[in-house]
Amino acid sequence: MTCLFWFTRRQFLHNSYRRFRSRSSVKSSLSVTRTVSNAGPAHYSCEVECESLERYRPGGYHPVNIDDTFRSGRYRVLQKLGWGGYSTVWLVYDLELSRLAALKVVVSEIGEKGSVVNEVRILRRLTTAPVAKHQDQRHLRKLVDSFHHIGPNGRHQCLVFDVGGVSVPTLVDRWGGGSRLPGRLAWQLSKQITLALDCLHSNDIAHGDLYTGNILVSQREAQYSDPIILNNLGPPVLVNIDARPGCQITKSFPRHIVEPATLPIPVVTGQVHAKLIDFEQAFLCNGHSLAKVRTPLIFRAPETLLDSTWDLRMDIWSLACTIFELVTGQPPFDNVMAAKAPLVLEWIAMLGEIPEKYQRNGEIKPKWS
């Protein structure tokens, strides 16, 4: 009876976690979280879920429109792929290389500081480091180009990447029915992400944000950079912006809001190609570690919760949690409403007492009470 109760509880928490995650942390194919700001009254609105329209202002988002060009005409905007709290991401055609790419346009208020600058620094280091020719670098997202673009809302950092594929949570929801991936596919992804992490660590770089949402999957390398993929997307869906009485839609706004395109699911019955993305939280092991960890709580290493310093080893714990979810279809720790203390107690129940130096922390009781 005890085992049955434990299994039922675990399955209930797992299903609740899945429903909660699908509502609160949906990822686009470029791993850009769809977030809408609820701060202050909404003076502007539209009929589709989108980035905070209040942030189309000086210092905020750049107003991108379909057919806009960047980098002296090199990149032409075709579709929207997603957005986050500090950027919008667009599918563009690279006229110089005759292929598709992903253009990330960052809010202008970030300027020459913050995580975006760190991401550029890390990605450039990977291309020039002694181990840059590491064969497993093909499983890391590549920075194609970076530049600044001046618009009505300021000067924006722009990053250009390969179109890596579809995120693992999206693949699970749309292909696996929201449960789990086939075992063969899960092990392929586990191997390739492990190789990607080995490449990073060989260059003394910690990823700092490893979990399933930062893994993109395609049928083959550069599959989504082929313009033929446009045949599966259809035309962009444009939606009008509505303003409350007394508010004006100025040049700080785009002409329309573009609904994000849905990339086709890759065929995953044979070989697949995985890429590890999002290096905003990455850091050099001989430098300063990131000040704040943004990885979902259940993937975080113990030292990131119980200590003030960490290094490359934090990625190993996150990798183990990621592989666990890839293979089983559920996270290793059932903590639906994620909080520090309950998670640590789950660690103790599964793995035994935490090290004595962490017990002296005082915030966490070392034993069940």
Binding residue ranges: 104
Q: What is the 3-state secondary structure (H, E, C) of 350-366?
A: HHCCCCHHHHCCCCCCC
User: DSSP readout, 78-146?
Assistant: EEEEEE-SSEEEEEEEETTTTEEEEEEEE-GGGTT-SHHHHHHHHHHHHHHSTTTT-GGGGGB--EEEE
CA angle 171, 174, 177 (to 5 degrees): 105
Task: Bin 163: left if φ > 0, else alpha if -120 < ψ < 50, else beta.
Answer: beta
| Tokens at 87, concatenated | 């950027």
What are the two backbone dihedrals, phi and then psi, of residue 210, each rounded to the nearest 5 degrees? -90, 120
DSSP code at position 245: T
Which residues belong to the annotated binding site for ATP? 104
DSSP code at position 151: E
What are the two backbone dihedrals, phi and then psi, of residue 358, each rounded to the nearest 5 degrees? -80, -30
Number of Cβ within a 10 Å radius of residue 177 = 8
Distance CA(297)–CA(348), nearest Å, equals: 16
CA angle 347, 353, 356 (to 5 degrees): 120
Number of H helices, E strands in the chain: 8, 15
CA angle 49, 54, 56 (to 5 degrees): 95
Distance CA(159)–CA(359), nearest Å, equals: 43
Distance CA(360)–CA(218), nearest Å, equals: 46
Q: Which amino acid is at 148?
A: H
